[in-house]
Amino acid sequence: MAVLSLVVFSGAAAAKTLTTSIGVTASVSANCRVNSPVALSLGTYGSSNAGGKALAGNGKVLSIACTKGTAGVRIALNNGTHFSNSKRHVLGPNSKKVSYQIYTNSGLTTVWNSKNTVAYTPKSDVATAIEMYSKVPGGQKPPPGQYSDTLTATVDF
């Protein structure tokens, strides 16, 4: 003889809930980029300059974009490829040189180099043009031709 046993539970099984916290983090790094620089034209040095008149110019040559709010961005310039006798030079025909200088301000009082840098504080992520001020001292007597130099800009952030 077989005995059948039936157990009946009344009510549903009690459900349990467990909660936990999950930390979410992100970091935003400071980053800068220099867009393709435009050549700085020092202008045309003519006979009026040879007598002592300086040639001055400026231009928005560097275009830089940094993460908004990046602190301490500094832009330095080296002395150029043809630096000699404590002067920057553009080099022309027959290795003739014409001295020039780049400054950090429109008053042409502070030479822009590796020690005297330009500060930049990004207000947005949009590229900003950085002004360069230049001067070719008068009194030089270079032969006609094309003259050039290459500067290196270093951005520290």
pLDDT digits (tens, 9 = 90+) for 62-103: 899 999 999 999 999 999 999 999 999 999 999 999 999 999
By percentage, how much of the chain surpasses pLDDT 90? 54
Give the angle 90-104-86 at the CA atoms, nearest 5°. Answer: 45
Amino acid at 115: K
Domain boundaries, the chain: 32-156
Q: What is the CATH number of domain 32-156?
A: 2.60.40.1090
